[in-house]
Structure formats: structure tokens, C-alpha cells
Structure 1
Amino acid sequence: MMIIDEIRKVAERHPAMADIGVTTVLALANGLVTADAGPGLADWLLFGTVHLPVVWRRRAPVAAFWMVYGLAVAAWFTARADFVYPVVVILVAVYSTARHRPWRQTWPGVTAVELTLLLAALRGHLPGSELAVLTVSLVAVVLLGVALRTRQAYLLELRDRARRLGRERDQQARLAAAAERARIAREMHDIVAHNVSVMVALADGAGLTALTAPQRAADTLATIAATGRQALVEMHRLLDILRDGGPARTPEVGLAPQPGFDDLETLLAQVRATGVRVMLSRDGTPETWGPGVGLTIYRIVQEALTNTLKHAGPGVTVRIRIASTADGVEVEVVDDGARRADSPSTAGTTTGHGLAGIAERVAVYGGRAEAGPLPGDGWRVRARLSLTENRGGT
């Protein structure tokens, strides 16, 4: 079996050489029978001419068949029939056509061979028993060729399907990796932008009070250090996910959970420490939507407060309203600060990575987000999450 498999592999790699080998073996087998009849030179030339087209049985099976058929018929109806042994060559040519070409190109040749056999039997050149044997042999080689061609087509389809599935799997993996990178990029932006903005505001305050209220400045510096450590812990968590694809662990806290709805007060306290007045109101009864929704709400508020710290003037007041309904949540963050004319946030409702991140987060839940200036001074960020089909979060 191993030898047959090796021969098959060599034949697949070198089809032309394989066809020459088949022709040679066929000629040698028929030549042993022909030699017993004592053929002359002309007989051997006819013998070789009948066998020669088999060399092209794979590359041009139909043309090879008709060449063999024409030469074999000429031999059948001459005195040379015993010397060329044409029946076996014809069966090989018929098999090659059925093996390598569709049925519509095979049946004319099969019909021609069978009619020729019937004509030879009627003229007395072929006994009835031999006619039956040859007819059965003809049907057998045709069925064998068709079966092998169908099997090959099936195997090729399986291989093609496996390649397509492999490409689709790789494409899905790349899309999933790109989506994960985008998600982590949003997380990194929110973490770094917010914490750095808080630290800058606190440092400005510490600088102003360092001489007049050194204890207060020292407390502010301690808050800056705590904020920086918190940012490092969250960044370590995300970088561990990028590196290992698993849960993040840090020496200080072990597993680092994602912030959620219940962490809003800690976030607001952090912002209030910079001198910004922040007021939070909640309408309705929050549903148990799951951690995914809680994280989205947290990041929306965080990004809005980050923009306020970066772009609003001093003494700003921020009002946050979270309205929960049976089918969704609306988050609105409004400040009364005066934006600078060159502030990136004033360029439009869709500019800035932070606002784009909010829109992407909200889109996951089938909602929409908008941001823009209010008449006079002030800025508003509003997001609506439609949670009818997202209970449980992700």
C-alpha cells in the first residue's frame, strides 16, 4: 500500500511522465501477445501507432481517444487485427475520457465503440460471447472513470472548502484582534487622559498653596501620588491583557477588576479634589444590566469630566444626570465652563478620540451619543443606551 501511495504521489507531481509510463506498460503487455503471432515490420509500426496517442490521455483525452479509435477500427477491419491487440487500447482511451472529461464529452465515444462492436459482430468478426464481455468491460471502465472523477472533484471541493474556512478563520481572528486592540486603546485613552488631567489640576492647586498652606499642598501631592498609582495599576492590567491575553495581575492588587456603576462616587471624589464642583442625580431605578453597561456609563462620565478638566475655565460646576428606564439608560453631563476658542472639543460633536470612544461604546448597545456647546457658556455630553436586547451585559 505504501508503494502504491508513493507511485500515486510521483504520478501527481509528474503527470506527463506517468502517462508515458502507462503507455509503455500497455505496449509491453500487448507486445507479448503480438509477438506470438510473428508480426512483421509493418505490423509493429501499426502496433506502435495505435498505442502512441495514449501518451496524451490526460492532457487531451478526447483527441487521444478518437485517434486510438480510428486506428483501431482500421486494424479491426484489416488482417492486422491480431497483431495490434486494439481492444485493450480502446478501453484505456475510453477510461481516460471518462476519468478526465465530463459525461457530455464521453458518451459519443462510448456510443461509437459499442456500435462498432455490434457491427463487427454482425459481420462475423466478433462472436456473441466476446461481444457481451467487451460490452460489460466498456461499461465497467466508463463507470470506473466517472467514479474516480467524481471522487477527485469531491476531494478538491473539500480541500477548497478547508482553505476557505482557514482563510475565514484567520480573517475572523484578525478582526477580533483589531476589535480588541480598539477596545484596549479606548480604555488606555480614558485612563491616561482622565488621570493625567486630574494630576495636572491637582499639581496646579498644590503649586498655588505651597507657600500659604503647606499642609494642604502636601495632602494634594499625596492625592496626586495615589492617582498616579491608580493609573499605573489600570495600565498594567491592560498591558497584561495585550501581552498574555488573560486576566491582569499586579503585585499590589492581584486581579484588577473593571470599574463600574458603583465606582462613580470614587471618580467624582477624585475630580472634586481638583476644585471642580460636581453634582450627581439619579432618576429611576437602575436595572441589573451587568458589568458591561456599568463600565460604559463609568467611561462616559469619566471622559466628559476629563474634557471639563482640560478645557473648561476655573470655578466650573458639573451636573451629571443618570436616568434609568425599563429599556435603557440616559447619561447627561453638563458643565457651565467657558471653552477656549482653540479647544479641540469645540470643533464639533464628533472630533477628539474621547468623544469618538464614547460613540463607539454607546453603539455597542444600539444607542447614540452627542456632544456640543450650550448657548452662552457650557458644554453638554449626552448618551442614550438602548438595553432592550442587552440584559446581562458583556
Structure 2
Amino acid sequence: MTEAAPARAARAVWPVRAVWLVRAAWPVRAARPLPRARRLRLPPLVADALLPGLLLLTVLTPRAPGEFPVAVALTAALALPLVWRRRAPRAVFGAVTAAACVQWLLGVPLPAGLAVLVALYTVAAHSGRRGALVAAAVVEAGAALACLRWTTGGAFLIPFVGLTAMVVAATALGVNARTTRVCLAALEERAARLEQQRDQRARLAAAEERTRITREMHDIVTHNLSVMVALTDAAVYARHRSPDRATAAMLQISETGRQALTDMRRSLGVLRAGEPDAERHPLPGIAQLEALADQLCAAGLPTRVEILGGHTQLPATAQLTVYRLVQEALTNTLKHTPAGTRAEVRIRCTAGTVTVDVTDTGPRPPRPSATPPGHGPGPGHGIAGMRERAAAYGGKLEAGPLPGGGWGVRTRLFLDGGGEAASA
């Protein structure tokens, strides 16, 4: 009986010598990971079975012959449930705790009792903070009972402090693993969300750019082709009666075509770096409306332009919008009104707004029923593009017949952003 006491006391401090097994349950990150081709990838079940296998080997430690069958059974009950610890952490913790309770009742100290700490770590790593604290309290109570039963000579404090330290370490490692996993999942979700938002913004920017280029091409091509068609008709009509006028019309057609090419290169210059025409020719603005009126007069549409207020301080983009609005309105007048029609353009510039009025004296043909209301006579995108340009500055475009005859287009652009509040 006296010889067995030192051996039992030595076995009572087995948890202190088994700290390396707790460390084996914690995944250690290598400083320099191996290349993907050289990493050893094991099936999850096989990887989870490595630690229980090590615990099963501890049953081979020397012990009394009568204790060996009981030790084998208890070691198996403590170690084997750990194979499924990641799939059912709470159930495995309950099974291991129950086996440890039976071990305490039978009075058989085993190194495999470390399975309780591994189960505690798994619960803390896969459960909430409350579950981790409850599991830690259960294991701490078991550690106190184990020290009371298996320590001799009043040596209770040192084993209890060692076991308490391991309980705290296992709980802290598990909580840290869970926190790290949650943070990584949140970062991955945020990265995926940011990537999705970036792609969405890119798609919206591409769609907006396509819309802008479509409007520019529509205004440039429609206007210049309409002028060239009108000039060509005039040249054909005057080629026999007035060769000089026919020659002047043909020269005007050539100039209009060159101007159309220049405008197209300038509008598409943003798509190609180093486009010379985009830098050499400034964007058209309010100052170029007189030249536009002269071009339309040569095409057979007498046009008068009146500009009230100073426009030199207006942004270039706002002036381009005004120019395109007037150009599209006059192009529609040239296309849809008979000979003898006159047009008038009135631009009023103030500190924060620009008012655009384009009127003509010619009647419009009946609008087809298939054309949406408010889009002007005949199919096309002219009025729709004008509405989009005006809406970019908070304006609302009005287009329709005038009470005294003719057609009018009116809008007001808000340069200071006040149009949003006004339109709301």
C-alpha cells in the first residue's frame, strides 16, 4: 500500500506532462507554407482521427494488471468520440465528460483524460461565448474533483493550478479560433460585396458612357446628314439655273461633312488616349450657336439666335448641353417642316440657370400612333435624348405645338444642383 501511493501520486500530475497534446489540437500556422503541390491533404475524418489515435496509445503506459481492461475501455470512451468533434462538438463534449465522470467514480487516473480539454477547445471554437463558459465551468469543476481525489499529502494547490491553467488555455484558444474564423468570414463577405459593387458600378459607368456616346453620335450624325441632304437637294435644283449657287451648296456640303468627322473624332476621343482632334478642337458651346444658325440658313432654314446674359463663365459641359439641345431642336425643324419655315433660338443665362427656347413657324405632320406621347413626330430618339440631357441638370424639357402655330422646345438647366429639389 505504501509503494502504490508514490505511483498514484505520480499519475495524478499527468495533465501537466501532457500539455503537448493540447497544443496538437490547435492548428499552428507555418511561417512559410509549402507549395500547393507539396502539401499533404488528408480526408477530414482521417485528420480528426489522428489525435484520438495518439490518446489511445497512452493506454500502453505501465499499470497494475487488474486495471488494464478498465483502462482500455475508459481510454476508448474518452478518445474515440473526438473523431466526430468538429461535426457535433456539444454532443462529443457531453460524451467525453460522461466518460470522465465514470473514470472519476472508478478512481482510475488516465492520460487520456486530456480528451476533456480537447472537447472543451472544440466547443469553444464552434459555439458561442455562453456555451464556451458553461463548458469551461464543467471542466473546471471536474478538475477540482480530480485533484481532491487523486492528490496525496495535501498537495492540492499545484495540480489544481496547473489544470486550471490548461482549462483557461483551451477555452481561450477555442474562442480565439472562433473569433478569427468569424472575422475572416466577415472579411470575405465584405470583399465579395465590394467586388460585386465594383462590378455593378463598372457596368453602370459603361452603360452611362454608351448612352452618352449614343446621344452624341445621334445629334452629330442626324444634324449633319439632315443639313447635307437639304444642301444636296438645293444643289440639284440649282445646278442648271444657277451653277454658282449649286457650287456654293456643294462646298457647304463638303464643309459640313468635314465638320461632322471632326465632331465624331472629338466625341470618340475619350475612348482613345492621345487622340489629337479631341485636344485640338474645343467642345462646341453657346458661342458656336451663331455658326450653327448660319449652317442651317444655308440649308434652307432661316434661323435667328438671341443670347441674353453672359455665358462665358458657364461650365463647358453645360454649354455643350445647350448646344446639343438647340442643334437637335433645329434639326427636327429642318426635317419635319416645309419650306419657308423660320426658327428662333433664345438663350437666357443667369448666375445659376440657363433657359433654352427654340421655336419655329412651321406645322408638324400628324404623329403616328405607335410613337410614344411626348417624343415628337415620327420614330426616333431625338426628344428622348434631349430629355436625358436636360435631366442631367435637373431640368424638365417641354416640347409641343404652340398656341399661335408652330412648334416649341423649352427647358431650364440648373447649374447649382437646385433642379433636383425643384423637380422633386
- Would you call these one fold, judging by a TM-score over 0.5? yes
Other-structure match for 2:97:
69
1:324 counterpart (349, 357, 360): 349
Secondary structure at the aligned position of 1:257 is classed as: coil
- The 3 A distance-change label for structure 1 pair 192 and 200 is same
Secondary structure at the aligned position of 1:338 is classed as: coil
Other-structure match for 1:354:
382
Matches within 5 A, 1:356-375: 356-375=384-403
2:120 counterpart (75, 94, 115): 94
2:314 counterpart (269, 289, 294): 289
Secondary structure at the aligned position of 1:293 is classed as: helix
Other-structure match for 1:112:
138
Contact 1:95–1:142 (CA under 8 A) maintained in structure 2? yes
Other-structure match for 1:336:
361
Q: CA deviation at 1:101?
A: 1.2
Q: CA deviation at 1:310?
A: 0.7
Alignment partners' CA distance in 1, 2:68 and 2:144: 30
- The 3 A distance-change label for structure 1 pair 45 and 4 is farther
- Kindly provide the CA deviation profile for residues 308-333 of structure 1, in whole angstroms up to 9, marking residues without a partner as x: 01101111100111112222110100
Alignment partners' CA distance in 2, 1:346 and 1:321: 28
Q: CA deviation at 1:62?
A: 0.8
Contact 2:144–2:160 (CA under 8 A) maintained in structure 1? yes
RMSD, aligned α-carbons: 2.8
- The 3 A distance-change label for structure 1 pair 115 and 45 is closer
Other-structure match for 1:142:
171
Contact 2:398–2:409 (CA under 8 A) maintained in structure 1? yes
- The 3 A distance-change label for structure 1 pair 281 and 343 is farther
Other-structure match for 1:184:
213
Contact 1:337–1:378 (CA under 8 A) maintained in structure 2? yes
Matches within 5 A, 1:277-316: 277-286=302-311, 288-316=313-341
Contact 1:11–1:18 (CA under 8 A) maintained in structure 2? no
Other-structure match for 2:276:
249
Does 2:291 match 1:266? yes
- The 3 A distance-change label for structure 1 pair 141 and 299 is same
- The 3 A distance-change label for structure 1 pair 275 and 54 is same
Alignment partners' CA distance in 2, 1:343 and 1:259: 34
Q: CA deviation at 1:85?
A: 2.0
Alignment partners' CA distance in 2, 1:177 and 1:14: 46
Other-structure match for 2:17:
none
Q: Under a length normalisation based on structure 1, what TM-score does the superposition of the two structures give?
A: 0.88
| Amino acid of the structure 1 residue aligned with 2:275 | A
Q: For structure 2, list consecutive stretches of 5 or more residues without a partner in the other structure.
A: 1-28, 419-424
| Amino acid of the structure 2 residue aligned with 1:181 | R
Secondary structure at the aligned position of 2:234 is classed as: helix
Contact 1:248–1:255 (CA under 8 A) maintained in structure 2? no
| Amino acid of the structure 2 residue aligned with 1:359 | R
- The 3 A distance-change label for structure 1 pair 107 and 4 is farther
- Kindly provide the CA deviation profile for residues 72-102 of structure 1, in whole angstroms up to 9, marking residues without a partner as x: 22112214x23x4243111111011111111
Contact 2:311–2:349 (CA under 8 A) maintained in structure 1? yes
- Kindly provide the CA deviation profile for residues 106-132 of structure 1, in whole angstroms up to 9, marking residues without a partner as x: 222222222223334445657412122
Q: Under a length normalisation based on structure 2, what TM-score does the superposition of the two structures give?
A: 0.82
Contact 2:289–2:305 (CA under 8 A) maintained in structure 1? no
Secondary structure at the aligned position of 2:310 is classed as: coil
Contact 2:375–2:384 (CA under 8 A) maintained in structure 1? yes
Other-structure match for 2:68:
40
Higher mean alpha-carbon deviation, 111-120 vs 84-93, is at 111-120
Alignment partners' CA distance in 2, 1:229 and 1:91: 85
Contact 2:56–2:112 (CA under 8 A) maintained in structure 1? no
Q: CA deviation at 1:229?
A: 1.8
Contact 2:355–2:412 (CA under 8 A) maintained in structure 1? yes
Q: CA deviation at 1:174?
A: 1.2
- Kindly provide the CA deviation profile for residues 143-169 of structure 1, in whole angstroms up to 9, marking residues without a partner as x: 111112112211221222112111111
- Kindly provide the CA deviation profile for residues 297-316 of structure 1, in whole angstroms up to 9, marking residues without a partner as x: 10011000110011011111
- The 3 A distance-change label for structure 1 pair 264 and 168 is same
| Amino acid of the structure 1 residue aligned with 2:125 | R
| Amino acid of the structure 2 residue aligned with 1:329 | V
Alignment partners' CA distance in 2, 1:375 and 1:146: 79
| Amino acid of the structure 2 residue aligned with 1:105 | G
Query: How many residues matched?
Result: 382
2:54 counterpart (6, 17, 25): 25
Contact 2:362–2:407 (CA under 8 A) maintained in structure 1? yes
Contact 2:297–2:303 (CA under 8 A) maintained in structure 1? yes
Contact 1:348–1:372 (CA under 8 A) maintained in structure 2? no
Alignment partners' CA distance in 1, 2:215 and 2:71: 86
- The 3 A distance-change label for structure 1 pair 346 and 71 is closer
Other-structure match for 1:230:
259
- The 3 A distance-change label for structure 1 pair 43 and 124 is closer
Other-structure match for 1:387:
415
